[in-house]
Amino acid sequence: MRTSLTVKRPPFLLYSYLAGEIMAPFLASFIIMNGVSFLVRLIPFLNTVLEYDISPADFIRLFSYLFPTMLSYSIPMAAMLGVTIGFSRLANDSEMLAFKASGISIYQVVPPLLVFSFLVASVTAYFSVSLIPAGNISLQKMMYQLAKEKIDRGIREQTFTEALGDLVVHVGTIDRENRTWHNVWVSDNRERAIPAITMANSGTMRSDVEEMKATLILNDGSMHVPEPTSSQIITFDRYILDIPLKPLANATLRQTRGTMNLSELLAQTEKVGADTEAGGSYFTEYLSRLVLPVGCFTLALFGLPLGLQAGPGKRAIGIPLGLGIYIIYYVVFSIARGIASNGGTVAAMTTTMWLPNLFFLALAVVLIRQTAHEQQFVPPVISSILAIQVSIIQSLFHRAVSFVFPSRRKDPPPTYQAGDFESSPPSPNNLHGHVATRVFHFPSCPYYHLSHTIEFKNVSMALDAGFTPCPRCRHIMDKEK
């Protein structure tokens, strides 16, 4: 007797359809997020762009070095929004309901989400581990190269220039072919109340981008160093003056930790000691490069339960909730990083940095499970309390708006008499309830015609289902008693 094993093929058609539903909003969110980030990062660099007279090609290079840092934060947010919007559309169009009717559970739509989350996390990891330090190094070199070019353009014949910071340079003539200066005059104001004057027959300037400095080489001259009570005159055949290049961009561009790769960060941590504050900062930077990509994977998983909170007649609360979770995640991550950067044992810092990811990953799994079992995120009692508080706040807000803007006052809600209904006063008939808030309304309530998801024949059925009346409807019930 032969037995045959049939291997069930994965539903690739379903997976490809879900992937398409996720990718379209992801790409749109990605473009919008990076456009906003680009404008935010452009403002601090406008002064540098204008002062250095940067060409369009250099401008593109400049921001290509900045994009890895921006993408490490925009990709996680775009991934969460893409998944949330994709599943919200499926829920609003009742496609998720059709999936359930066809025997497709929530767990069967998780594999394409996992693949998508893994891919965006891998891209984020590549940016975090490789491109960010390389981009920071290239950005520094470019800024210092621009500073050196500005100095070259700023030094003209028979003109005083302050392009070298605390040095004022005057050149008689410039040999463009040999790049040599003649009849050079230099006023050195660095850390001096009275400047030192240097005069030379010739000179030249060299720049070292790797060392981030420029070097003035003066030949056949003298230096006059005045003091409050005396002065010195020093003659020289050759005088070398090193000048650190300081571009006008923000000082934050020169971050030692940001330009190191993972192996260099670990080596520096071992060199200064992990228990020191400096060692803690290096090791924290090392851990951050590994933690953030996993955070991107975790945030993308939140999109499934958040997106499925939408539906016909429901308010789409997934996007604002997702933005809130994104902000809370990075706040918690920043707190953990601040604690770990103070130094300590390697195990303690590692645990502190990974705790936010473990917590949010567990929360995402719990929310997916609750969504699969059609359970609420928040217990009904807490949801009812929050709904009542929101109703009270909305009522107070509308009253305040009506008081400040009398022209916007609306007509009072209609009152109903017993004769207006075929059976009885408003309490027993056509109650509207909202599944998300677990609150029901009478026909006389101004919130009766808001979006609702369920109707009850009478009050007792609504109460048995765990629904509670809004404050206004509760007042009606108390009056009837």
Pair (473, 406) in one structural domain: yes
Could you say which of 352, 372, 392 is where a domain stops? 372
pLDDT of residue 114: 92
pLDDT of residue 418: 41
Pair (266, 361) in one structural domain: yes
In a domain, 154, yes or no: no
Pair (278, 367) in one structural domain: yes
C-alpha dihedral, 99 to 100 to 106 to 111, nearest 10° = -30
CA distance 148 to 154: 10
- Which pairs from 217-221 meet CB under 8 Å and 24+ separation? 217/241, 218/184, 218/186, 221/184
Pair (86, 112) in one structural domain: yes
Per the CB < 8 A criterion, the answer to whether 257 and 246 are in contact is: no
Pair (226, 282) in one structural domain: no
- Residue 300 burial by CB count (10 A; 0-12/13-18/19+): exposed, middle or buried? buried
pLDDT of residue 165: 66
pLDDT of residue 248: 43
Pair (31, 137) in one structural domain: yes
Pair (330, 442) in one structural domain: no
Pair (231, 303) in one structural domain: no
- Residue 380 burial by CB count (10 A; 0-12/13-18/19+): exposed, middle or buried? middle
Pairing of strands 439-441, 231-244: unpaired
In a domain, 159, yes or no: no
In a domain, 156, yes or no: no
Pair (359, 327) in one structural domain: yes
Cα-to-chain-centroid distance, residue 140: 23
Query: Averaged in consecutive runs of 10 residues, what is the pLDDT profile of the chain (481 residues)?
Result: 57 85 90 86 74 75 84 90 89 82 84 92 90 83 73 72 74 81 84 82 77 79 81 85 60 59 83 80 88 92 86 71 89 90 83 92 90 70 55 67 57 44 44 77 73 74 82 78 62
In a domain, 347, yes or no: yes
In a domain, 307, yes or no: yes
Could you say which of 341, 372, 403 is where a domain stops? 372
Per the CB < 8 A criterion, the answer to whether 239 and 232 are in contact is: no
In a domain, 172, yes or no: yes
Please give the tally of structural domains in the chain.
Answer: 3
pLDDT of residue 246: 57
Could you say which of 198, 214, 245 is where a domain stops? 245
In a domain, 152, yes or no: no
Residue 431: give the domain boundaries.
383-480
Pair (134, 190) in one structural domain: no
| Run of H or E including 249 | none
pLDDT of residue 411: 46
Pair (301, 333) in one structural domain: yes
pLDDT of residue 393: 66
pTM, two decimal places: 0.64
In a domain, 149, yes or no: no
Pair (420, 459) in one structural domain: yes
| Run of H or E including 23 | helix 12-52
